[in-house]
Amino acid sequence: MALAPFAMTVLYGSQSGCAQDVAERIARHARLWQVPVTLSCMDDFGMERLEKIMADHYHVFVASTTGQGVAPDNMSRLWRSLLSKRLPSNHLEHMRFAVFGLGDSSYPIYNAVARRLFQRLLDLGAVAFYPRGLGDDQHDLGYDGDFMPWMDGMWRRLRELHPSLDAMRLDELAPRYKVSLVDGVPDDHVPLGSFGQGVGRYIPLPAPVLDSRRITPEDHFQDVRIVELSARHVRYTPGDILIIHPRNSVEAARQFIVDRIRMDPLTVVVIECKDDDGKLPTGCKVTILDLFVRFLDIFGTPRRHFFEFLAQFATDDVEKERLLELSSPEGQADLLAYNFRERRTYAEVLNDFPSAQVPLARLLEEVPRLAPRQFSIASSPRAHPDRIQILAAIVEFQTPYKRRRVGLCSHFLRTLKVGDSVDVWSRSGCLSIPPSPVPMIMVGPGTGIAPFRSMCNELSFLHDRGPSEIRVYFGCRYKANDFYFEFEWDQLLSRGTITAFVPAFSRDQPNKVYVQDQLREQGADVWRILSGGGVFYLAGSSNSMPKQVQDAIIDICIEYGHMTDDDARTFVRQLQRRGQYVIETW
C-alpha cells in the first residue's frame, strides 16, 4: 500500500476529553489519506521527541483552555519546556505546524492556551503551514461550527502542498475493534479504565451514596438536590472539582440494543483493539448491555461526521441523500435544526435512518466514550468529614418541537439511591482559599454558591489563621424556594467567619435584582477590597452572567477609582493575570 509523502503527529492537551476527540478525528482523517500518523497527549510525547523533527513531518496541536486560561494537565510539562528562556529563537525552525484551540467565549480569557501555544511556536522559529483555528463552545453547532471548516481547509492546504495526496484517499478504514461472542458469564468487575493521559490521568474509584435529596419545593420549577457520597477514596480541598462518571439508563440501553442492534442485551463479548486507547474494556468478558450503560454515549448528540459515517451504510437512496446533505457544508443550517436544537441522540438518529445497519464493531468505534461531568464540591473536609457533597441542578427542558429532554448526568443523579455506587475522582479547580488571610469577595448565583459554601465552612475551622473580610453575594429567584443553605450563612455570620452575606432575589419584587445590582449598590466596599489587594471570586452559569458581573466591576472602578473605561478594563485584566479575579463557570 502506497503511503503519503509525509507523516503527521497530532498532539493534544485535553482536560475534559473534547480536545482529545478533535485530535482523534484529525488522526482518523490522516489515516484515510494514508498519512502515517502519531497521536498522543503532549506530555506523553514530550519535548525530547518534539525536538527530533523530520523534514517530511507536520505537527498539529489541539489544545483546550480551562478556567482562567490554564493549560490542561496533560500538556503542562511540555508547555513549561516550551517556555524555557534557554531555548534559542531558531530552536524549532524545521517544524511545520498548525494549532486548533477549544474554548468558551463566555470566559474573559478566551482560548488563551491555543493562542499562546501558537505564538510560542512562532517565537521558537516554527513555521505555521495553516492559520490558527479557534473553536467556541458557544457556537450554535458547538466547537464543530469552527472545527469542521478549519479541518477541511487544513487538508485542502496539504493537498496543495502535496498534489499526489489526491489519489490516495481510502473509502473507509479497517475497523479498530474486533468483537467476539463468547460463552460463559461476564467478568465480575469490568473496570472503567483511566481518563486522560500524562499527569492528567485519573482512575475513577467507587463512592457509595450516603444521601440524595431535593432541597427545592416540589412545586418549584427546578429540582435542585444535595448528593452526598462517601469520601473514603477521595481527597479534596475547598474549591476542588468532583468528577462523576454517569451511566445511561439501563432500560433505555436495553431497548436500543433489542430494537436497533437486534441482539440479546446480555450477550457476552470480548473486545480486541490493536491500538488500545482505553475507550472500551478490552480482553475481558462484558455484556453488550454493560457497554451501552457504562461506556458509550449512545444518548448523546452526534456531531456532523457521524452523518457522513452513517451514509456509508444506508441502502435506501432517500436516506443516503439526506445523510449526505446533513453532513455537507451546505446542510449546516438543516443539521442545526434537526440535530443540535432538538438534541437528538445517536440512538434516535439510527432509528430515523433504519436502512443504515451498522456492524456492532463499527458502531463501538464511532459512538464516543461517555464523558465525565464536573461539579464544584459544596462540602468542607473539616465540616463534613468522610463525606463529599455536590449541589446539582437537574437539567430538564423542551426542544423547539416539544421533545422533553433530561440531562444524562441529571437523570443519573436523580435516580440514585442510598447504597448505590458512583464512579468519581477529584481535581483542583480554579478557586482556592488564599494561603494567607486577604479580603475576599465571593459571588455565587444559583448553584455557583457551592464552592463558597465549601470554602467558608472550612475557614470556620481555621481559628489560627486570623480574621479577614469576606463578603458573599448570592443570587436566586425566590427567598422561599431556592435560597440554598440559608441557615448556614446566618451561622457563618454569627461566628464571624464571613463579614457580610448579600442575597439578591430576582423574582420577589417587581424590579428584578441580581448579584451585579448588589455589587453596584455596595460599590465602595467592593472597590476598597479590589484596590487593597483582595481577591474576587465568581462561580456559576457561563451564559451572560459573568459579563454582566464584570461590567458591574468596571462601573465600580470608574465611579470609585476615578478611572476611565479603558483604565478600568486594564485594571480588571491585571487582577485576572495576578489571580485576584478568578472565574469558574459551567
Q: 440-468, pLDDT tens digit by residue? A: 999 999 999 999 999 999 999 987 787 78
- State the Cα–Cα distance between residues 291 and 265, nearest whole angstrom: 10
Residues comprising the binding site for FMN? 64-67, 137
- State the Cα–Cα distance between residues 454 and 384, nearest whole angstrom: 9
- Supply angle C-alpha 333, 62, 577, rounded to 5: 100
Calculate mean pLDDT across residues 306-333: 94
| 3-state DSSP of 69-82 | CECCHHHHHHHHHH
- State the Cα–Cα distance between residues 446 and 457, nearest whole angstrom: 18
Residues comprising the binding site for FAD? 343, 373-376, 407-410, 586
Higher pLDDT pick, 576 / 279:
576
Using DSSP bridges, classify how beta strands 7-13 and 37-41 pair: parallel, antiparallel or unpaired.
parallel
Q: What is the pLDDT of residues 114-170, one digit of tens each?
A: 999 999 999 999 999 999 999 998 888 888 889 999 999 999 999 999 988 877 777
Cell of 173: 478504514
Cell of 487: 441557615
Three-class secondary structure of residue 26 per DSSP: helix
Phi, psi of 352 (to 5 degrees): -75, -20
Residue in the structure block whose three cell numbers are 453532513: 327
pLDDT over 70 (residue 530): yes
Domain ranges within the chain, ordered by starting residue? 7-170, 177-182+249-366, 207-246+371-427, 440-585
The dihedral built from the CA positions of residue 51, 52, 57 and 62, taken in this order, carries a sign that is negative
- State the Cα–Cα distance between residues 241 and 454, nearest whole angstrom: 11
* Domain 440-585, CATH among 3.40.50.1820, 3.20.20.70, 3.40.50.80, 3.40.50.300: 3.40.50.80
Q: With beta carbons less than 8 A apart as the criterion, state whether 187 and 376 touch.
A: no
| 3-state DSSP of 296-334 | ECCCCCCCHHHHHHHHCCCCCHHHHHHHHHHCCHHHHHH
Q: Give residue 109's pLDDT.
A: 78
Residues comprising the binding site? 64-67, 137, 343, 373-376, 407-410, 447, 506-507, 512-516, 586
Cell of 144: 464543530
Calculate mean pLDDT across residues 387-391: 97
- State the Cα–Cα distance between residues 361 and 567, nearest whole angstrom: 59
Using DSSP bridges, classify how beta strands 37-41 and 57-64 pair: parallel, antiparallel or unpaired.
unpaired
Higher pLDDT pick, 548 / 53:
548
Q: Give residue 3's pLDDT.
A: 67
As its CATH architecture, domain 207-246+371-427 has Beta Barrel (2.40)
356 pLDDT tier (thresholds 50, 70, 90): very high
Cell of 323: 445523510
194 pLDDT tier (thresholds 50, 70, 90): low
Q: Give residue 193's pLDDT.
A: 66
Q: Give residue 175's pLDDT.
A: 84
Q: With beta carbons less than 8 A apart as the criterion, state whether 23 and 147 touch.
A: no
- State the Cα–Cα distance between residues 6 and 97, nearest whole angstrom: 13
Q: Which helix (H) or strand (E) holds 504?
A: strand 500-505
Q: With beta carbons less than 8 A apart as the criterion, state whether 519 and 426 touch.
A: no
Q: Give residue 1's pLDDT.
A: 47
Residue among 148, 143, 118 at smallest CA distance from 131: 118
Higher pLDDT pick, 493 / 196:
493
- State the Cα–Cα distance between residues 299 and 368, nearest whole angstrom: 10
Residue in the structure block whose three cell numbers are 482556592: 432
Q: What is the pLDDT of residues 394-446, one digit of tens each?
A: 998 898 988 899 889 988 999 999 999 999 999 888 899 999 999 999 999 99
Residues comprising the binding site for NADP(+)? 447, 506-507, 512-516
- State the Cα–Cα distance between residues 349 and 305, nearest whole angstrom: 13
Please write down the long-range contacts of 449-452, taking CB distance under 8 Å and 24 or more positions apart. Answer: 449/391, 449/474, 449/484, 449/485, 449/539, 450/375, 450/376, 450/377, 450/378, 450/390, 450/391, 450/539, 451/238, 451/239, 451/376, 451/377, 451/378, 451/537, 451/539, 451/584, 452/537, 452/539
Calculate mean pLDDT across residues 525-544: 94
- Supply angle C-alpha 469, 474, 479, rounded to 5: 130
Question: Quick one: 434 exposed, middle or buried, by C-beta within 10 A (0-12, 13-18, 19+)?
Answer: middle
Q: With beta carbons less than 8 A apart as the criterion, state whether 582 and 536 touch.
A: yes
Q: What is the pLDDT of residues 96-106, one digit of tens each?
A: 999 999 998 87
Q: Give residue 199's pLDDT.
A: 43
Calculate mean pLDDT across residues 365-391: 94
pLDDT over 60 (residue 358): yes
Residue among 104, 99, 117, 110 at smallest CA distance from 62: 99
Q: Give residue 419's pLDDT.
A: 96
Cell of 159: 493537498
- State the Cα–Cα distance between residues 471 and 480, nearest whole angstrom: 22
Domains 7-170 and 207-246+371-427 share a fold: no
Question: Regarding the domain delimited by 7-170, which CATH topology (the fold level of the hierarchy) does it fall under?
Answer: Rossmann fold (3.40.50)
Q: Could you tell me what percent of the chain has a pLDDT over 70?
A: 97
- What CATH number belongs to 177-182+249-366? 1.20.990.10
Using DSSP bridges, classify how beta strands 96-103 and 57-64 pair: parallel, antiparallel or unpaired.
parallel
Higher pLDDT pick, 199 / 527:
527
